[in-house]
Chain A
Amino acid sequence: MTPLDPSEIHARTRPVAVASMFVGELAWALVVATPVHEWVRRAWGAHPDGDAVLFSRGGRDLLVWLGQEDAGMSVTARTTLALLVVGVLLLQVPFGALVASLAFGRELAAPPAGEATAPTRATRALPMATAWKIGVASWLPLATLLAFSVLVSVIVLSLGGILAALVESGLTASLGDARSFTVRVVLFALFAAVAAVLGVVVDLARAAVVREIGIAHAAGTSEAGWRTMLRALRTAMATARTSLGRATLGWTGRFAVGIALIAIGFVAANGLGGRGGVALGGLFVIHQAVVLGRVALRASWMARALALVAPVQDAREAKRSSAT
């Protein structure tokens, strides 16, 4: 097992890892969807048209269903939320495995004596079992980084929301409420952009964490998770100092493509409406293609993050080794 050179890190070379992440998400999404599905099935499943009635224009049955005063809505919503939180935490493992798979490879055996050697190292993907081991080992720091990221985003967005509301309030008398509302939206969008950039930095830290743990795993050493995480954060900050523009650009492009994919999924769903049978099957395929595409985009982004982090991390490691 060896860390890959930045030029060797590409998501397209790791289709199995990408597919594993996709399957993991799909599996847990089915679990998350179960309460609401069961709720609808019990209420409307006996209708000869099934839950198609909930998709009919005018929305009468949809409103009746959502307007029931029993505990169905509350129980389903809370259960779904809890399953989402659990899923978000659990999925850090396959995510760690995906990043590990992107960051590391196995060197092929040296060619027999006398044969020409390849101009660059020839590597193969890590065995998935090894990648998952690193994923499991990375879970705690990744989950902590995720919590940290969510917390920071909430703080930034809350501050943005409050400040934007105050500015709007202050400008209403002079600009009118429509224009001052526009100012509010723009100001909040700026804070959202800041939150996104901070998210990019956290992603760099995620990449650094998995790479650190993978290197330790290869060396047969281990270190406390929080120590690894702090070092990864420092690496991310150092990377951001030199490459924040490139990183943000790389993330933004993929983010935009991801939004476009969602739009395609929306158009398909809107066009097919509440139809069942083959149309529903087709929609499922389109939606899953959208999700697979987004997983691939995330893998591509993490590959980019790894490529940016690796030199910084290696330099810091070299410096630390020489110091000791």
Chain B
Amino acid sequence: MDVRPLGMSALVVALAGITGSTASARELPGHPDDSPAADVPMAEHPACVVDYTLHATLDPALHTVHGEGTIAWTNVSSQPVSQLWMHLYLNAFKNQSTVFMRAPVGGFRGTTVPKEWGTIDVRKLTWTDGAAEHDLWAKAQLKRGDDEDETDASVPLPRAVAPGETITLSMVWDDKLPSIVERTGFDGSFHMVAQWFPKIAKIEPDGSFAHFPFHHLGEFYADYGKYDVTLDVPEPFLVGATGVVTESRVANGRRVERHVQDDVHDFAWTAWDKFQTRKETIDGVAVSILYPPGYDDHAERELGTIRFALPHYGARYGKYPYPLLTLVHPPASAPEAGGMEYPTLITTGGSSFIPNGVNLIELVTIHEFGHQYFYGLLASHETQWPFQDEGLNSYAEAEAMEAWKGKSSFIDLLGLSIGDSEGHAERARHFAHDDRVAQPAYAFGTGAAYGALVYSRTATILETLRRVYGDRAMQRTMGAYARRFRFKHPVPRDLIETFQREMGNEAGETLRDALFDKGWVDYRVEAMSSHSVHVAAGIFDRDGKRATTPAAPGAPGKYEGWVLVSRRGTLRIPVEVELLSEDGTRARVPWDATTDSIRIPYAGTSALRAAVIDPDERVLLDENSENDFAAAPGHAGGGAPRTLERATYWSELVLGAIAP
């Protein structure tokens, strides 16, 4: 859009006492490199709390996993601990009375009842404490009261574990995998093995455990540590798993692989006898992709996505620290296994035919890759504050997609152009008043509200801040947050404070209100008027004399007037208002939106024709863009000639096709 400032616009703004500046003026000073937050210190490693050494054997016919191993756990809190909490999340699929299954939640994944139930049975859990071996499982409590849920077990210890002390537990367990449901299970010979081993809940600094049952909408939260896992599967099966392969052998019809990875907080794996595979080193990372037969095009699209994403996210949020990344594209019959993240392993998805131009494959891949940062490297409490993972990651996904594909980052097909950010904004708009964004996953009434608010509303809030305060300011802020809190399990306060520090109190408050208080905003052009400048007519008493000034025609080429703009809602987001004159000139006036309304003075060489709020569509949070503009009285807008032309043409084609 060609924007020519009115000659008097600066004066007009000064006279009106309007403060604020345009978005471009809000840009922070540029940095010489592409990483405005590169100077923010970033931890190289987390505190190692757990050390899992596991051996798992898959029976693909029975869909069972037999596991044995040890857990070395360190009490990193400040208090002695006399009881452990262990998550047995496969039991979420044990019966219809689990917390997961009885949640009345629709509109999201995991809503189908599994055809085959899944269980995890701990056969042995012992602690060798000096010369004594304690059977811990005998006193473990899986159920509480009448609740049938067995996903969150308490394990009393025979003595308290002192702060800083490390204990080693031995365990044996058996998994019965469910038919594919909520990210895990089997479909034919395809096995996605996640949430599959007894896992100690995260210990907090005060000695409490962040333990919770497997909620329908909730995800995970765990301590960092080392995983050394040996997987034993039938020889024809290819394996994808968290961590680097340090040993691999085939013997007696079995394939045995040992995967070792430090600095992660979970371990997942997959095995299938039909996997195709491709490998490529991208930005120093060994990237593997496992995919079904016939999905070579998808594999290439997913690899292409990672070629863009690895350096892009590295520059934005700090370098990806692991030497490998594995992508798993599940078969179409197992969609519940797709679209999920685990450390160094992500699952993608999409049916076999998705045309180029519909960037669904790329979007899912980049979203799941982004989780390597917000889920993997930041590791916030996903069940308590899901927006800190899914929300921030959805923003990062949309930002990355636009940086890669431009404005048509979601769909660019047959003349239809849809951006990912715009899609998020529209999805979120319908739920803005329903619930808070920042609340636990289990507090959302429906899966649709959870998806719209946690994913899309958060992404829209952050994208609005990016567009209003500038790209570099946002890069700096998000980059600082991602680097400063790497491996630190940040809470919402950390995010808000980072925005206040890096982007200013105004932006920080906007973020807080939008996340915690259902903050919203709707701008509206209320009215406008303009007329030629003329001497005021009427009766005037001046210097003790009464004089009548007759109405006179205005001076040619001098017009004045005003535009009344209002802001509804609780958010105060700076915005620009564009004033259009009859002679075609356009002027932008910034408004800081700290008041409920403003009467913007107008002065120009022709009459005012129209006014448009936020002409560059920076405030995606604006609830209704249909009231962001108005034509001056006596003026028509641009009408809808394009719609008439297109609708007529398409009607002709349909009529001709049906009635030859």
Contacts and interface: CB of A to CB of B under 8 A. Distances in A.
Contacts of A175: 293-294
Nearest to B660: A298
B408 A50 contact: no
A60 B333 contact: no
Contact of B408 (A55, A57, A65): A57
A59 B419 contact: yes
B656 interface: yes
Contact of A270 (B333, B415, B630, B655): B415
Nearest to B331: A177
A186 B425 CA distance: 39
Contacts of B294: 175-179, 181-182
B295 A178 contact: yes
Contact of A266 (B414, B423, B625): B414
A80 to B, nearest CB: 8
Interface stretch (A88-96, A187-195, A225-233): A88-96
Interface string B623-643: 011100111000011111111
A58 B409 CA distance: 8
Interface string B395-406: 000000000001
B638 A58 contact: no
A116 B299 CA distance: 77
A91 B642 CA distance: 25
Contact of B406 (A41, A50, A57): A57
Interface in A102-150: 146, 150
A295 B657 CA distance: 10
Contacts of B414: 266, 270
A13 interface: no
A6 B433 CA distance: 70
A58 B417 contact: yes
Given A50-B640, A266-B414, A25 B423 contact: no
Contacts of A44: 626, 637, 640
A33 B656 contact: no
Given A36-B643, A283-B645, A59 B638 contact: no
A184 to B, nearest CB: 10
Contact of B655 (A28, A41, A265): A28
Given A177-B352, A265-B649, A43 B638 contact: no
Main secondary structure of the interface of A (DSSP, over half): helix
A48 interface: yes
Contacts of B658: 84, 88, 146, 150
A152 to B, nearest CB: 14
Contacts of A280: 641-642, 645
A317 to B, nearest CB: 26
A94 B473 CA distance: 64
A253 B352 CA distance: 31
A176 B638 contact: no
A179 B297 CA distance: 13
Given A58-B421, A294-B656, A33 B647 contact: yes
A92 to B, nearest CB: 7
Interface string A205-216: 000000000000
**Residue in A63, A87, A88, A172 whose Cβ sees the most chain B Cβ within 10 Å:** A63
B112 interface: no
A185 B90 CA distance: 38
A108 to B, nearest CB: 31
B624 A64 contact: yes
B646 interface: yes
B645 to A, nearest CB: 5
Contacts of A150: 658
Contact of A29 (B408, B423, B637, B648): B648
A219 interface: no
B292 interface: yes
A269 interface: yes
B486 interface: no
A68 B656 CA distance: 31
Contacts of A62: 418
B654 A60 contact: no
Given A36-B647, A47-B637, A58 B652 contact: no
Interface string B423-435: 1011001100000
A47 B655 CA distance: 31
Contact of A45 (B408, B421, B426, B639): B639
B643 to A, nearest CB: 4
Given A45-B638, A176-B293, A181-B352, A67 B426 contact: yes
A203 B660 CA distance: 8
A14 interface: no
**Interface size band for B:** 35 or more
Interface in B318-356: 331-333, 351-353
A51 B293 contact: no
Contacts of A172: 332-333
A278 interface: no
A115 to B, nearest CB: 43
B419, B609, B629, B653 — most chain A CB neighbours (10 Å): B653
A146 B641 CA distance: 33
A36 B641 CA distance: 11
A198 interface: no
A9 B645 CA distance: 34
A5 interface: no
A52 interface: yes
A61 interface: yes
Contacts of A56: 417
Contacts of B274: 176
Contacts of A41: 639-640, 643
A26 interface: yes
Q: Which of A30, A59, A273 has the most CB of B within 10 A?
A: A59
Nearest to A48: B610
B537 interface: no
B422 A60 contact: yes
Nearest to A68: B626
A123 B647 CA distance: 40
Contacts of A294: 653, 656
B104 interface: no
A173 interface: yes
Interface in A249-279: 262, 265-266, 269-270, 273-274, 276
A177 B292 contact: yes
B427 to A, nearest CB: 9
B292 A266 contact: no
B333 A177 contact: yes
Nearest to B408: A57
Contacts of B620: 60
27 contacts: A25-B655, A26-B652, A29-B652, A30-B644, A33-B644, A40-B640, A41-B643, A45-B636, A45-B638, A46-B630, A50-B641, A51-B638, A51-B640, A58-B407, A59-B416, A63-B418, A63-B422, A63-B425, A177-B332, A178-B295, A178-B332, A185-B353, A203-B660, A283-B645, A287-B649, A298-B660, A301-B660
Interface of B: 188, 274, 292-295, 331-333, 351-353, 406-408, 411, 414-419, 421-423, 425-426, 429-430, 580, 609-610, 612, 617, 620, 624-626, 629-631, 636-649, 651-656, 658-660
